[in-house]
Amino acid sequence: MAEEKKAGKSKLVIMLIAVIVLLIVIGGAAIWWFMLRSTAAPTPAEVAQQKLQNTKFIDLGSLVTNLQSADGSTHYIQVQIQLKTYDPSVETSVKTFMPEIRNGILLLLSAQNADTVSQPAVRDQLLQKIKAQVNQILETDGGALKNPPADKAPPIASVYFASFVVQ
């Protein structure tokens, strides 16, 4: 009987030690989870650095079309356009929809008036229209989707003229 009490006490001591060790491990994990792990949002500098690393410029090549003219003469515009994105995978989509993108841009350019297209304000508006046109094509998969997803940032961040010639 004395041996049974010793065996029972030793089992109790082992279980007690196991429970204490388990509580220490759980407590340590809780302290790490709530206090030591990094939960801080990235700083603006970190976000900027990440964007800089992912920045990609996509060249659409040279586009030439005629312009609207009030005096009846023929005027042409030649532009080279660069698209800026922070998602390197967008380049594949741009290449896929390149004919559609170029067509949309040519339609926008040919609707411009030769007398006003050289004004800086008109150029800025034209860049914004090109950006909207390209984003619309990319976000709707060339028109396959009715509405672009509202929760994502647009694929093209900016549009730039690498060259701009009106004749």
Instruction: Please report the pLDDT score of residue 162 as a whole number.
Output: 93
Q: What is the pTM of this model?
A: 0.68
How sure is the predictor about 20, in pLDDT bands with cuts at 50, 70 and 90? very high
Is the pLDDT confidence value at 149 over 90? no
Is the pLDDT confidence value at 38 over 70? no
Q: Domain 47-166: give its CATH code.
A: 3.30.479.30
Q: 121-130: long-range contacts at Cβ-Cβ below 8 A with a sequence spacing of 24 or more?
A: 123/161, 123/164, 127/159, 127/160, 127/161, 128/159, 130/81, 130/105, 130/159
Condensed to tens digits (0 to 9), the pLDDT of residues 124-140 reads: 999 999 999 999 999 88
Instruction: Please report the pLDDT score of residue 121 as a whole number.
Output: 94
Is the pLDDT confidence value at 7 over 80? no
Element (H, E) at 120: helix 120-139
